[in-house]
A and B are shown apart, each in its own frame.
Chain A
Amino acid sequence: MPFVPHTEQDIREMLAVIGVESIEDLFDEIPPELRCGKLAKVPAGLSEQAVTRLMSRRAAADGEPLCFIGAGAYEHHIPAAVWQIVTRGEFYSAYTPYQAEASQGTLQLIYEFQSMMTALMAMDVANASLYDGASALAEGILMAVRSNRKSKSQRILLPRNAHPAYRSTAQAIVSSQNIELIEVAYDEAGGHTALESLAAHDGEDIAAVVIQQPNFFGVLEEVDSITDWAHSNGALVIAVVNPVAMALLKPPGRWGAAGADIVVGEGQPLGVPLSSGGPYFGFMCARQQFVRQMPGRIVGRTVDRDGRVGYTLTLQAREQHIRRSKATSNICTNQGLLVTAATIHTALLGGEGLRRVALASHANTRALVDRLCSEHLQPRFNRPFFHEAVISSALPLPRLLRPLYAHNLQPGYELEQDYPELADCLLVCATETKTEEDLDLYQGHMARVIEKQTTAGCPVQPKMA
């Protein structure tokens, strides 16, 4: 019996203490007509060795391709120490730290995490995590509507160049509370949110403006002027940022004259493997004055009876287990173990290490764009970018990319599925994990494919301009 330690003798004696004949008797309060049968679709149990073989085969089938996809999930080197410590049983198999005295490890770690995130974002307060970046944006929007005392509006300006999956997640989560998400167009040439497209909303009652930096196209937004515009219109600013980028770029707390009000984002780039999309973690920071409107756990520093410093969950009156239907969110379990990884990762790299990761990722993407761009491939936008860029193809994109997959190379993210207006546009990302050889390999394969497809006799012709 896997994971059940009882011997026959244990069972006999325990049943005698209870005063029943059989284990079956313990289920006598369940109406017999409801009892279920055999679980026909659950296969018989396997030994650990057999499961190991099965899983190893499946993991190997997924391979370890050369990946140039970013689009919200980024391959970074994770120091070996990170997951060796994260998977220590004392972190791995602990519960939410409700018994503070027996959970000081987790609690202090979360306090350190909050400190790191506020430092990186230049904000006052942080929570202990949300599910992921997209759901964190939804919570940020709900929080902004609760927090904005100047506005009675339930309207949020959400740029089209924010992550498409974040936009649809936010829509799914906030729509039942009658919050309206209003799309803001991006600049056709620059890919950024131009102040002119916000100007259409001058004087309107808006609860908050979302700014993603860098935006989904990798393009840098003019965060200062957008922040000032939002504040002058009585709207709060919700920043969506990449934490690694913030080691290099201006942090949200310094945007414009007053800084962003709420900051959310995907924490995955800080020590969390790609892992098909999760588990990752969402983070959230805010100004001090909004701390009581934050969702999720917050850890505070205090003292014990002897005056010794200790850590505990605090402001719990915001949360569902106390406030029930009046809570700031229904969130309970968050992404604690990933926060453990991010905290250790950030400690190991430090500000300078993260800045180097950001610089190297930017330089690699710049180098990749330079190598790929040629007669048939051109940068789509003309503004500065961080570690992703959009490349526009004069040839039908799927036919260029298909042969690359066969070389175990994942060339980027095709934008047409989310942006019909960006057909034949590819979002590429080369983080610090890519070497010169990797970039050469991509360039070489792409050049050969283009050559094949453009030589005479080939059915694929360049599109008409």
Chain B
Amino acid sequence: MLIFEHSRPGRRAPSLAPATAAAVDDIPAEFLRDQPPALPEVSEMQTVRHYTRLSQKNFSIDTQFYPLGSCTMKYNPRACNSLAMLPGFLARHPLAPASAGQGVLACLYELQEMLKDITGMQAVSLTPAAGAQGEFAGVAMIRAYHLARDDQARNEILVPDAAHGTNPATATMCGYQVKEIPTDKQGDVDIEALRAAVGPQTAGIMLTNPSTLGVFERRIKEIAQIVHQAGGLLYYDGANLNAILGKVRPGDMGFDVIHMNLHKTFSTPHGGGGPGAGPVGVSNRLEPFLPVPLVAYDGDEYRWITQQERPQSIGRLSAFMGNVGVLLRAYVYARLLGREGMHRVAEFATLNANYLMKRLQAAGFDLAYPQRRATHEFIVTLKRQAKQQGVTAMDFAKRLLDFGYHAPTTYFPLLVPECLLIEPTETEAREELDGFVEAMCQIQQEAQSHPELLHEAPHTQPVRRLDEVRAARELDVRWNPGA
């Protein structure tokens, strides 16, 4: 039932709205609305009950193991939320003077400094609102760099075929052509193909390392050399930074610009699809182009750095400072972890992934890259099951929901047929991983004995499999009782 269906004409929650004159006498009628909007008229309790019940129709980290590959669904510490929502932080207007924001600016500045150290970059801008906006900022800086050198011929960005869809979409948004680079059998970038692809038209390459295949790109230094020699720059997609936190830094690998997903690596909540935060870090040569605002500290006072001080900046990406509340959560997380905790993130994310991988392998599942070490995630391919038993990765994914596990990422990366990309994260206990293995084994048995259990899964959720074709063909995207 929709909130609109609880509505009755004239029902109100009067204590929530101000008492005021019923009409306005100094705005001419031509500017005014002549009919009230068709919004719900419900009581406070109806609203609370409705949305509480809706929340119970979700899987979440707080309620389920959520091994969604490439998304780093680790525990979101509650302290991060409550401390970012202290009244002093919430009440501060974005255009209030910096002198009335020294508390929040101190947190942002220290976060900037920590992120520089963690990534090995020279400078960091916190302002991008999410990973894709960080990517946009990164590629826009690459473009600005080449143009500032009057190097106008570079119109191409290289993207490995295993990359996230945001990489090619971003390159296009920045006005570039996209050239895909194939992956070799071991899951590394095909170096010979890369050599053949670079040239005076190469603006840069966008790489994720560890890649979306769940393996570390071993020849990264060689890749950096090839691209740099061609005059291109290296962009690091930080989607998988959790795998290497405190172990190896993108700056040391030769990257010129990176973005981080704080909603992954720094455990800020995913919120059902955001908000994220996608800070960018750069090497010296790209620093002048960083998006504004940045936070500066002169030893006495924190202040904003704006476009006036950075005339070569690619500009601003949102009206104010990006997702400050998310940055505060990440800051609290970083302070709780500290240096030692930071190192342990990658260690235990990797331990959990390799343990889960070995156990699934021992249980008879096929790995996409059995000869490789898992990073913080790994890929199981169900190609054999699809051929022999007619059950797909989608069937497995939906059946897992019945066992109380969120499905791993399915059908991504596109290179591996019938794949499950599995990322357990460091915050899961061993027994949770063991439970997942048991569920996978049982589903495997069902695939042989009762495949329809998989085809028709899920059986225990609020709805069964949905008709997505109908959703697209008979588009219904709003409550419209008159229609």
- Residue from A81, A129, A432 with most neighbouring chain B CB atoms (10 Å): A81
Bound together, the chains give a CA A330 to CA B341 distance in angstroms of 33
Instruction: Report whether B340 and A333 are in contact in the complex, using a CB–CB cutoff of 8 Å.
Output: no
9 residue pairs bridging A and B, Cβ less than 8 Å apart = A39-B246, A63-B100, A97-B58, A125-B477, A131-B323, A168-B315, A275-B89, A298-B477, A410-B93
Of the candidate stretches A107-115, A182-190, A436-444, the one touching chain B is: A107-115
Known contacts A305-B464, A350-B13; is-contact A249 B32 (Cβ 8 Å): yes
- Residue interface mask A327-363, B partner, CB < 8 A = 1: 1011111111110100110111111111111011011
Q: Which 9 A-B pairs have the closest CB atoms?
A: A45-B338, A277-B320, A89-B62, A337-B271, A172-B315, A277-B94, A58-B103, A59-B88, A336-B273
Instruction: Report whether B79 and A48 are in contact in the complex, using a CB–CB cutoff of 8 Å.
Output: yes
Which residues of chain A from 44 to 87 have any CB-CB distance to chain B below 8 Å in the complex?
44-46, 48, 51-52, 54-65, 67, 69, 71-73, 75, 77, 79, 81, 83, 85, 87
Instruction: Report whether B54 and A108 are in contact in the complex, using a CB–CB cutoff of 8 Å.
Output: yes
Residues of A within 8 A of B427 (CB): 3-5
Nearest-Cβ distance from residue B7 to partner chain A, whole angstroms: 8
Q: Is B215 an interface residue when CB atoms closer than 8 A count as contact?
A: yes
Which residues of chain A from 130 to 165 have any CB-CB distance to chain B below 8 Å in the complex?
131-135, 163, 165
Q: Is B61 an interface residue when CB atoms closer than 8 A count as contact?
A: yes
Instruction: Report whether A92 and B60 are in contact in the complex, using a CB–CB cutoff of 8 Å.
Output: yes
Q: Is A91 an interface residue when CB atoms closer than 8 A count as contact?
A: yes
Instruction: Report whether A104 and B94 are in contact in the complex, using a CB–CB cutoff of 8 Å.
Output: no
Residues of A within 8 A of B456 (CB): 305
Closest residue on chain B to residue A315 by CB atoms: B472
Instruction: Report whether B347 and A109 are in contact in the complex, using a CB–CB cutoff of 8 Å.
Output: no
Q: Is A452 an interface residue when CB atoms closer than 8 A count as contact?
A: no
Closest residue on chain B to residue A299 by CB atoms: B477
Closest residue on chain A to residue B139 by CB atoms: A176
Instruction: Report whether A346 and B117 are in contact in the complex, using a CB–CB cutoff of 8 Å.
Output: no
Residues of A within 8 A of B38 (CB): 119, 351
Residues of B within 8 A of A134 (CB): 316, 318-319
Known contacts A39-B117, A274-B92; is-contact A351 B100 (Cβ 8 Å): no
Which residues of chain B from 211 to 252 have any CB-CB distance to chain A below 8 Å in the complex?
215-216, 218, 220-221, 244, 246-249, 252
Known contacts A38-B339, A59-B88, A67-B96; is-contact A119 B37 (Cβ 8 Å): yes
Instruction: Report whether A176 and B466 are in contact in the complex, using a CB–CB cutoff of 8 Å.
Output: no
- Residue from B129, B249, B325 with most neighbouring chain A CB atoms (10 Å): B129
Of the candidate stretches B172-180, B280-288, B381-389, the one touching chain A is: B172-180
Known pairs A55-B107, A312-B471, A356-B20; list 17 more (Cβ under 8 Å). A15-B351, A26-B347, A59-B87, A62-B101, A95-B270, A97-B273, A101-B464, A108-B2, A134-B319, A275-B324, A327-B165, A327-B172, A330-B136, A330-B170, A336-B272, A347-B42, A350-B39
- Residue interface mask A1-21, B partner, CB < 8 A = 1: 111111000110111011110
Residues of B within 8 A of A83 (CB): 85
